Amino acid sequence: MTRLSAQPLEPAAQDAAIQSNVVLVTGMSGGGKSEAMHALEDAGFFCVDNLPADLLLDFLRLEQQRGERRVAIAVDVRSAGSLPLLLPLFKQLRADGVAIRSIFFDANTETLMRRFSETRRPHPLRQEQNATSKDEGHRALLEAITLERELLAALRAESTVLDSSQLRPAQLRAWVRDLVVVDGNSLTLVFESFAFKHGVPSDADFVFDVRVLPNPYYERELRPLNGRDQPVADYLAAQPEVNLMLSQIGAFMAQWLPNFAADQRSYLTVAIGCTGGQHRSVYLVETLAQQFAHHGQVLKRHRELDAK
């Protein structure tokens, strides 16, 4: 018998839950959840870490009795015993009208292994506690990360994914603050620039490669600038290939956005990549964000520029 047999929230309680702005923070160990919780706490959220999934419904009811306040709840693989309850419960709460947003913090395996190595903290699923060699310890950590991905795969598919592989802590905190100020009940469109040489963002729903476009980097006076600077914008706006790429990406997104909204997607990331993430991809992101401003909720990110 599970907590899923509990009664749905009463209408008045549903309203209170909606006003409380509930954010569920989950994801891979080492993916950035701690930084996210710090950012949410600074933003005025009441934060609870490592809450067992089978206590989530009772906790939200208690919060409704306390009155209005924004709540952030971290649930992850440390609560492995109650983890199977989390996804059904999450869907039930949404069906009951609770405005709850799940943010899944991820990173590529290489980054996760490096972070655990640097902090010297054990992975919560690691079984090999007394490795006799560095290779054995490396293998045990890799197995733990692989297992965690398998356990959290279904929850990741239902969440807004934020890839922290290339993000500095300040970037991560800023992106989290952007996420929680938008309406979680409607589609948020995100345009993100990145450099292919640093990897493709794993949280991208669509990836467009604009490395085929004329590169301002090879213009001496434009090289130290970026795609937000007017001289670079003027240069790219004068290139027919750039305008064709913009029109085709724009037409594609305009065609399919209503379908994603109808599918009750809350978040859609369009990643635009060039070689260095400084000129072409930045210009296209800035231009597309302006073109789609009428959409309502549009965010823009520049992974490489924001890291400076």
Kindly report the pTM of this predicted structure.
0.69
Report whether 33 belongs to an annotated binding site: yes
User: What average pLDDT score do residues 159-167 get?
Assistant: 90
Report whether 178 belongs to an annotated binding site: no
Number of domains composing the chain:
2
- Residues 283/286/287/288 CA torsion (nearest 10 deg): 120
Which is it for the CA torsion 221, 223, 226, 232, positive or negative?
A: positive
User: What average pLDDT score do residues 271-284 get?
Assistant: 97
Report whether 177 belongs to an annotated binding site: no
Report whether 32 belongs to an annotated binding site: yes
Distance of CA 109 to the CA centre of its chain: 16
Q: What does the pLDDT read at residue 209? A: 98
Domain match, 152 and 262 both: no
Domain boundary among 180, 209, 236: 180
Domain boundary among 152, 180, 208: 180
DSSP-assigned states of every residue in 179-231: HHTS-TTS-EEEEEEEEGGG---TT-SEEEE-TTS--GGGSTTTTTS-TTSHH
User: What average pLDDT score do residues 97-123 get?
Assistant: 87
Tell me the three state secondary structure of residue 204.
coil
Answer whether residue 225 shows pLDDT above 90. yes
Confidence of residue 80 (pLDDT cuts 50, 70, 90): low
- Residues written for the chain: 308
Domain match, 142 and 193 both: no
The residue ranking higher by pLDDT, 205 or 186, is 205
Q: What does the pLDDT read at residue 120? A: 80
Q: What does the pLDDT read at residue 13? A: 39
Report whether 29 belongs to an annotated binding site: yes
Angstrom distances, CA of residue 289 to CA of 97, 245, 274: 30, 15, 17
Look at residue 247 and tell me if it is in a domain. yes
Domain boundary among 133, 149, 180: 180
Answer whether residue 76 shows pLDDT above 50. yes
Q: What does the pLDDT read at residue 134? A: 62
Report whether 34 belongs to an annotated binding site: yes
Kindly state the DSSP code that residue 206 receives in the 8-state scheme: E
Report whether 28 belongs to an annotated binding site: yes
Q: Which domain holds residue 251?
A: 188-306
